Amino acid sequence: SVARALATAEKRFILISSVLFCAVFILVSGIDSSAEPRRRAAQWIGFWGFFTFNAAIYSYIGQLFMCSVRGQGTAQILASIFIGINNFFSGLIVRPQQMTGLWKFTYWINPGHYVYEGLCMVVFSRAKNRFVDVATGSDYYDELCVGA
């Protein structure tokens, strides 16, 4: 039933909303606007792919909870817990360098980690402009693993 719900109801929503969001975001943000058209197209497709993947994960988990538990309220609470855990352990709230032991494991199994890393790599990997100047040997430099 989860696959049927995703195929019939969610697929169009995910595709349309991700295209609209990515088109507006890339055009408004002007990220790497000096790049050649071929590079911008690859950047847009990559950004759209990772954003669509993220929307599909959230949609799948939401449908899974709706089919697994009784009551919409319980499913919404479980989905909220999943989103919180996803944001917390994906590196958005706590940096991966500060996670140790079991918490490091949660970082690597979390789908949000891969989505957010992919979004950043697509946008910033070949940017000609440096957005932040980091002093060599500073704490921030070491946390970024720039020298590694």
Token pair for 13: 């929503």
Q: What is the mean pLDDT of residues 109-115?
A: 86
Percentage of the chain lying above the pLDDT 90 cut: 5
Radius of gyration of the chain (CA): 18
In this prediction, residue 1 carries a pLDDT of: 66
- pLDDT of residue 32 exceeding 80: no
* CA 110 – CA 38 distance, rounded (Å): 32
How far is the CA of 16 from the CAs of 9, 19, 61, 83, in angstroms?
12, 5, 19, 22
- Count CA within 13 A, CB hemisphere, residue 68: 12
In this prediction, residue 19 carries a pLDDT of: 92
For residue 48, give the nearest of 131, 118, 114 by alpha carbon: 118
Angle at 9 between CA 8 and CA 12, to 5 degrees: 90
8-state DSSP, 8: I
CB proximity list for 32: less than 8 A, separation 6 or greater: 39, 40, 43, 123, 126, 127, 128, 129
In this prediction, residue 111 carries a pLDDT of: 85
pTM, rounded to two decimals: 0.72
Give tens-digit pLDDT for 42-98. 888 888 999 998 888 888 888 888 888 888 899 889 988 988 888 888 887 887 878
